[in-house]
Amino acid sequence: MIVPINLENQTIIKYNVMIEKLPKLTFNRKVAIVTNTTVSALHLEELISRIECDELYVVTIEDGEEFKTLETVENILNELFEHKLDRKSLLIALGGGVIGDMTGFTASLYQRGIGFVQVPTTLLSQVDASVGGKTGVNNKYGKNLIGAFYQPEAVYIDTDFLKTLPKREFAAGIAEIIKMAVMFDKEYFDFLMEADFTKKEVLEKVIERSVELKAEVVNLDEKESGIRAVLNYGHTFGHVVENETNYKTYLHGEAVAIGIMMANALSVELGIMSENEMQQVKEFLQKHNLPVDYEIEDIDTFYDKFFLDKKAANNKIKFILANGLGKHVVRDDIDVSVLKKVLKSFSKKGE
Ligand SMILES: NC(=O)c1ccc[n+]([C@@H]2O[C@H](COP(=O)([O-])OP(=O)(O)OC[C@H]3O[C@@H](n4cnc5c(N)ncnc54)[C@H](O)[C@@H]3O)[C@@H](O)[C@H]2O)c1
Ligand SMILES: [Zn+2]
């Protein structure tokens, strides 16, 4: 017997990303803020002062990527049950991408899903992690391997939160910003070259454009079958750099900056980017104190690590490359010798 089930997915998901001073937030429901020890000391009071709701709870977890685990999610869930949150309740993520990803995932699980709102407090989470609905945790097999696509009800981006952000963390966010410009928008790229990130209105403009671009990509491809992969520009190389350095030497955005340099070197080798264009990107990264060099110890070991990436389907490595500035191309046909030649230019022997 066959019982065909046809669920026509007609859900239209709409929400706004507000880029402004955090407004008064009124909810006729129970609310739990999820944050970490660092962010709560700096910004929790401010957030609480803006919220009006039935009952308000705060769940504070330890700070660090190493706490982005199922165990932490379970602890958060337990606290929500202790506070008797119901199906109408709301979670608010106050923090960077770690808090955002984990809060979203917890919201997707609690009683099969409750609402959540993002209040991202790092540049990276404001331009990248808080938009797109990817939520999840890490496990011993890798990063973000457990999770769900689950969209927030709203995202509130207030650049004032960034005033307390360490400089290195700020720069790490800039790597994801330049990524979007190189992949999709030459005009935005030119704007970024001149942008003074210390000016609030410039920063807001930059965040707005990055969010817009990410939203366009996600809208075209919510489940990452096609164009969403383009967001991995710089990441194929960057992930190997992160892996080789045991996730200790570089922040993710810093490894992405190195990865962008490597991807661009490949583009230049393939003749789809000029030396001059590569140089422009390099100078931008340097200006923002992002690393642009990396010394590969052993090219073969580095090369083998490409295959650890979950995106390397059927033994083919998919390279997301800049095709000039503001345009991208996805290539899975790169000759090993060409690739190794590029990697060699990042090793001692290449000098
Ligand atoms: N869901 C997505 O689409 C997506 C996209 C990119 C990255 N991510 C995830 O995001 C995470 C990285 O995010 P992140 O870079 O924001 O890291 P993070 O959340 O670890 O924050 C970085 C550090 O800054 C601190 N911090 C946060 N806000 C602060 C503030 N205003 N002032 C001072 N300190 C502050 C945090 O406590 C932390 O120590 C990774 O887990 C990554 O997998 C998710
Ligand atoms: Zn990234």
Lowest-confidence segment of 139-148, 215-224, 284-293, 304-313 by average pLDDT: 304-313
Q: Is the pLDDT of residue 312 over 90?
A: no
Measure the CA–CA gap between 135 and 336, rounded to whole angstroms: 34
What's the pTM? 0.94
Q: Give pLDDT, residue 311.
A: 56
Chain segment 246-279, per-residue pLDDT in tens? 999 999 999 999 999 999 999 999 999 999 999 9
pLDDT confidence bin for 349, thresholds 50/70/90:
low
Map tokens 């609480």 to a residue: 48
The secondary structure element, H or E, covering residue 142 is: strand 142-149
Q: Is the pLDDT of residue 350 over 60?
A: no
Give the number of residues written for the chain. Answer: 351
* Mean of per-residue pLDDT scores for the chain: 94
Task: Looking at the CA of residue 161, tell me the nearest atom of ligand 1.
Answer: 31
Q: Give pLDDT, residue 322.
A: 98
| Spatial CA neighbour of 126 closest among 172, 70, 189 | 172
Phi, psi of 295 (to 5 degrees): -100, 110
Q: Which residue has the higher pLDDT, 188 or 143?
A: 188
Lowest-confidence segment of 4-8, 57-61, 134-138, 326-330 by average pLDDT: 4-8
Structure tokens at 128: 């990248």
Residue 106, ligand 1, Cβ within 6 A: no
Ligand 1: which residue has its CA nearest to atom 4?
Answer: 129
Measure the CA–CA gap between 75 and 178, rounded to whole angstroms: 36
Cβ atoms within 10 Å, residue 251? 21
Q: What pairing do the DSSP bridges indicate for beta strands 55-61 and 319-322?
A: unpaired
Q: Which residue has the higher pLDDT, 313 or 341?
A: 341
Ligand 1: which residue has its CA nearest to atom 18?
Answer: 96
Task: Looking at the CA of residue 136, tell me the nearest atom of ligand 1.
Answer: 1
Ligand 1: which residue has its CA nearest to atom 16?
Answer: 96
DSSP 48-106: HHHEE-SEEEEEEE--SGGG-SHHHHHHHHHHHHHTT--TT-EEEEEESHHHHHHHHHH
Q: Is 197 helix (H, G, I), strand (E, B) or coil?
A: coil
Q: Which residues are catalytic?
A: 112, 134, 176, 214, 224, 228, 232, 235, 239, 252
